[in-house]
A and B are shown apart, each in its own frame.
Chain A
Amino acid sequence: DAGVIQSPRHEVTEMGQEVTLRCKPISGHDYLFWYRQTMMRGLELLIYFNNNVPIDDSGMPEDRFSAKMPNASFSTLKIQPSEPRDSAVYFCASSSGRRLPYNEQFFGPGTRLTVL
Chain B
Amino acid sequence: ELKVEQNPLFLSMQEGKNYTIYCNYSTTSDRLYWYRQDPGKSLESLFVLLSNGAVKQEGRLMASLDTKARLSTLHITAAVHDLSATYFCAVDIGGNKLVFGAGTILRVKS
B42: chain A residues within 8 A (beta carbon): 91, 107-110
B92: chain A residues within 8 A (beta carbon): 102-103
B95: chain A residues within 8 A (beta carbon): 55-56
The CA-CA distance from A102 to B41 in the complex, in Å, is 24
Taking residues whose C-beta sits less than 8 angstroms from the other chain, chain B's interface range is: 20 to 34
Known: A42-B102, A55-B95. A102 touches B50 (CB 8 A): yes
The CA-CA distance from A91 to B44 in the complex, in Å, is 12
B100 on the interface (CB 8 Å rule)? Answer: yes
A102: chain B residues within 8 A (beta carbon): 31, 48, 50, 92
CB-contacts of B25-61 with A (<8 A): 31, 33, 35, 41-45, 48, 50
Taking residues whose C-beta sits less than 8 angstroms from the other chain, chain A's interface range is: 20 to 34
Decide: A104 and B97 in contact? CB cutoff 8 A.
no
Chain B positions 86 through 98: 1 when the CB is less than 8 Å from some CB of chain A, otherwise 0:
0010101001111
Decide: B43 and A91 in contact? CB cutoff 8 A.
yes
Chain A positions 59 through 86: 1 when the CB is less than 8 Å from some CB of chain B, otherwise 0:
0000000000000000000000000000
The CA-CA distance from A107 to B38 in the complex, in Å, is 13
Known: A91-B43, A106-B45. A31 touches B50 (CB 8 A): no
The CA-CA distance from A103 to B98 in the complex, in Å, is 9
A34 on the interface (CB 8 Å rule)? Answer: no
Decide: B96 and A97 in contact? CB cutoff 8 A.
yes
B residues in contact (CB < 8 Å) with A: 31, 33, 35, 41-45, 48, 50, 88, 90, 92, 95-100, 102-103
